[in-house]
Every structure is written in structure tokens, then in C-alpha cells.
Amino acid sequence: MGESITLFSEDGKRSDGRSLDELRPIRIKVGVLSNAQGSAYIEQGRNKIIAAVYGPKEALPKHISLPDRCILRCRYHMAPFSTTERKSPAPSRREIELSMVLRNALEPLVMTWLFPRTVIDIFIEVLQADGGTRCAGLTAAVLALADAGIPLKGLVAACAVGKADGKILVDLNDLEDKYGEADMPVAYNPTLDGITLLQMDGIMSKEEVEQALSLAITATQKMHKMQVDALRERFSVQRREV
Amino acid sequence: MRESPSRLVLVGEPLATLEEFFPGDGTFEKDGVIYSSRIGRVSVDRNRRMLEVVELKPLLVPKPGFKIIGSVTGFSSHYANVRIFYVNGNRLSYEYTGLVGRESFGRSYPRFRTGSLRNYVRENDLIYGEVMSTVNVNLIDLSAKEYGVVKAYCGNCGSPLVLFKKYLTCPSCRTRENRKLSVFYNEQIERLVARV
């Protein structure tokens, strides 16, 4: 327990040289997999995540199907090579829980009632992890759903905010996530002006939560613009090909 | 009057207000504003004052009125199970199941003396039909003359049956069988798909 981690440099910058409200460099590409119905790839700092969508397809076995809407099945998985030490490829407790959390975050977005008795499979594969993978995975999954042509109530972008050394930070990296005081992933839908994911780990005062939430919404709005640009690039390229 | 699809819109893009149009397919409404729910092109029906977004990537899910091609996989009580693999001329990535029952044949049922469903369709038959209903199950309509069995196999030896003097006859074992035939019987599946 004697190790000392410095999260901020003397000039007040974060360990990776960012300011407090600065996002990591983000690169988004839509339609990266030809076999999946919809797919997207995101690089957020050192995070590398790919998302794929299959469906809507018939729900099998039949007894799992719902007569009035489709089922969303989400699988969040970290590749064995995604961390510095090999991770077991078997789904861990954390991965199973995050799969459920992401499914719950996506469910208000997808117009499930349009496809009764069907299932939509969403796969989120973390190729390289550096903190905030659930948020980056969610951002990619939404784009994969849009790419698959599934009707959505807007695009959701997600970003983690947190607290370290008493300061509120945006888009936490692995170091800040582990050694910070609090971590709060937020997914925000600018179209509906609603939050579809809000979790918190650690301790923050009411004022700090409010400040963090407003920073998160500003950050997700920036990410939403990147999502729109990525989709526009994908479909303008497709149009030229046609 | 329907205007042809124009500009490309993305998910969540505001299109118009409720005072101007009704939200149609591919749109949703929130606080009086109509938004696009999928990536596509805006289509305006001025007569119905309807705004729609025509999808760029059609989702192939069976809907009433869609024409299908499938094969009969088996029978369960009063219905024949059908594996649907073509919808509106497009090959499905994921196959759907449908049902053929006595209601699929309309007023013509029972057409044959015994009235058994096996006189209309049998296992492994290739059928061409229309989705009648998607409530609870995908029920397939085979009542029109263009709908019905387009390829049948002998129940005795499995050889393809040929149409000989209005009867389906097996060229190998000379068995004669009954089916609800389509006018396109024995047509190549590629030509049938092109017809759809």
C-alpha cells in the first residue's frame, strides 16, 4: 500500500497531459465488418473497441420470444489480449454485469415494439482496454445499431466523469479510474435530452455530482457530433460506391 | 402526391414539426417535433401530409403482404411448418419460420376429398406465398393461383414430381400425389425470385 501515484503534474495537467475537461483523442469508424449487419469501431485514447449487431432475427428457442417486442441480447467481452496481463476468455462476473448494464442502457433507445418475437444481438468486443470501456463500448454499439438500420430514438454517447485529488475530471483513463476517488459513467441522448446510463462508484458531494453531470453532458454532446460525422462519412462513401 | 426521396438523414435528426406533417414510417415524434429514427432518405406524401424516412438498408423481417419463398419442414397438429428463406425477392441472412394452415387456402379448403393438409403441401415442398398475418406467427397465404407449391417431392421415393396431365406424378415410382400448385410450378427459383 506504500506506492504513491501522481495523477497530476505540477502545471495541473493530468497524467496523459490533458486538462480536466478534455476528452481523449477519439477515432470512430462505422461499417468495419462486412459479415455483421451493422458494426462500428472506436478508439478512445488507448481503448480499442469493436461492436457488431445481428438481427432482428427469429428468437429461438421460441419460448424466449416476446409477443409484443424484440429481445435485446448484449454481450460485452474483453479479449484475452486486451489487458497487460492475459485475461481469461471466459465471461467474468464483471463482464456479465456490464452486458446487462449496457443492455439496459440501450433498451430505451431501440424501438423494440416494431419487431415482435425477434431478437437483436449486440456484441461489444474490447480489443485494448484503458479505462472507460463500458462508455466507449456503448458509443460504438449505438453506431452499430444505426448502421444495421434498426430504428432508434436518437444516438446515445457515453462518457465517464470522476474525481481525483478533489478535482472533477472528464473521460477517466485506467490510472484515474483505479486511483481516483470516484467514477461516474453517463450515457446521454441529446435528441431526447435524457440519460440512459448513470452509475457511480466512490464518494462525491451533491454539488460535485451536479458539476460532474453537467461536464459529462457537455462531453457526450461533443462525442455525439463525432458519431454523426462517422455515420455521415460511412453513408456518403456508400452512396458514392453505388 | 408523393415526392421522391431526397436528402440523406441520420438517426435523431429533426425533420419537421407536427403542425406540418404526420410522423410516418422511420420517424418518431417528441414534443411536437418529428425526428428520423433511421438512416435513410426523406419522403413526403403531400396528400396524406405524411413524412417518412425510406431506409437505405432494408430490414428483411416478414410483414403482411410480403411475398415469400420457403420450404415445408414438417407438420404439427393442424399446421405445416415452413422455413422462409426469401422475402420480397431478397435472400434472408436469418431464416424465419411460418405456418401453413387450412386458412391459408381460403375458400378452396377442403378441395380434396379427405381434406387433409397433406393433400395441399408436404414435407420438403418448396412453396411460394404471401405473408397473411404476423400476429403470434407468420401465417402464409397460398390461396391465390400464383401461390402454392412450386416444387414437390415424392412422398414415397423422394424424387421431384412432374406435372403430367394435371396430375403430379413421380417419374421413378409412378406415385400420383395431390398438392395446391402454383401456376409457376417447376419454375427455377432464380426466375421466381426475379418475378417477385
Q: Which amino acid is at B10?
A: L
Residues of chain A with C-beta less than 8 angstroms from the C-beta of B39: 146-147, 149, 231, 235
Nearest CA-CA partner of B172 in B186, B183, B162, B159:
B159
User: What does chain B look like in DSSP terms, one character per residue?
Assistant: -EEPP-SEE-TT-EEEETTT-EE-TTEEEETTEEEE-SSEEEEEETTTTEEEEEESS------TT-EEEEEEEEEETTEEEEEEEEETTEEEEEEEEEEE-GGGGGGG-S-SSS--GGGT--TT-EEEEEEEE-SSS-EEE--STT-EEEE-B-TTT-PBPEEETTEEE-TTT--EE---B-TTTT--HHHHHHH-
C-beta neighbour count of B54 within 10 angstroms: 17
Q: Which CATH number fits domain A16-237: 2.60.40.1930, 3.30.230.70, 3.30.1330.60, 3.40.50.300?
A: 3.30.230.70
Over the Cα atoms of chain B, what is R_g? Answer: 21
Check whether B163 has a pLDDT greater than 70.
yes
Instruction: Tell me how far apart the alpha carbons of residues B152 and A125 are, in angstroms, rounded to a whole number.
Output: 45
State ipTM. 0.90
Segments forming the whole domain that contains residue B121:
67-195
Please write the tens of the pLDDT for every residue from B118-149: 888 999 999 999 999 988 889 999 999 999 99
SS3 per-residue string spanning A84-143 = CCCCCCCCCHHHHHHHHHHHHHHCCCECHHHCCCEEEEEEEEEEECCCCHHHHHHHHHHH
State residue A242's pLDDT score: 43
- Residue that is written with C-alpha cell 496523459 in the block: A16
Query: Which CATH number is B48's domain given?
Result: 2.40.50.100
Instruction: Tell me how far apart the alpha carbons of residues A211 and A205 are, in angstroms, rounded to a whole number.
Output: 10
* Chain A nearest-CA residue for B9: A232
Please write the tens of the pLDDT for every residue from B39-81: 999 999 999 999 999 998 888 888 899 999 999 999 988 899 9
A80, A89 in Cβ contact below 8 A?
yes
Instruction: Tell me how far apart the alpha carbons of residues A165 and A182 are, in angstroms, rounded to a whole number.
Output: 10
Shared domain check, B171 and B75: yes
Residues of chain A with C-beta less than 8 angstroms from the C-beta of B35: 153-154, 191
Shared domain check, B47 and B132: no
Shared domain check, B138 and B102: yes
Nearest CA-CA partner of B142 in B157, B132, B156:
B132
Shared domain check, B189 and B138: yes
Q: How far is B166 from chain A (nearest CA, A)?
A: 38
State residue A18's pLDDT score: 94
B153 DSSP assignment: B
Shared domain check, B87 and B28: no
Single pTM value for the model: 0.90
Query: Grid coordinates representing A54?
Result: 445481428
Q: Provide the domain count of chain B.
A: 2
Asked if the structure places residue B35 within a domain, the reply is yes
State residue B113's pLDDT score: 52
Check whether B196 has a pLDDT greater than 80.
no
Instruction: Tell me how far apart the alpha carbons of residues A118 and A139 are, in angstroms, rounded to a whole number.
Output: 23
State residue B3's pLDDT score: 61
Query: Grid coordinates representing B12?
Result: 435523431
State residue B65's pLDDT score: 93
| Cα–Cα distance list, B13 to A152, A153, B30, B36, B61 (Å) | 11, 10, 12, 5, 25
* Chain A nearest-CA residue for B25: A151
Give the SS3 label for residue A218: helix
Asked if the structure places residue B31 within a domain, the reply is yes
Beta B22-23 vs B50-55: how paired, if at all? parallel
Query: Grid coordinates representing B15?
Result: 425533420
State residue A12's pLDDT score: 83
Asked if the structure places residue B3 within a domain, the reply is no
Size of interface A-B (CB pairs under 8 A): 76
Q: Which amino acid is at B76?
A: S
Asked if the structure places residue B1 within a domain, the reply is no
Asked if the structure places residue B2 within a domain, the reply is no
Nearest to A153 among B10, B28, B58 (CB): B28
The side-by-side arrangement of strands in the sheet containing A47-58 is A26-30, A38-44, A47-58, A118-128, A71-78
pLDDT in tens, chain A (242 residues): 456 678 888 888 898 899 999 999 999 999 999 999 999 999 999 999 999 999 899 998 989 999 899 999 999 999 999 999 999 999 999 999 999 999 999 999 999 999 999 999 999 999 999 999 999 999 999 999 999 999 999 999 999 999 998 999 999 999 999 999 999 999 999 999 999 999 999 999 999 999 999 999 999 999 999 999 999 999 886 655 54
Q: Is some CB atom of chain A closer than 8 A to the CB atom of B12?
A: yes
Shared domain check, B82 and B29: no
Shared domain check, B134 and B80: yes
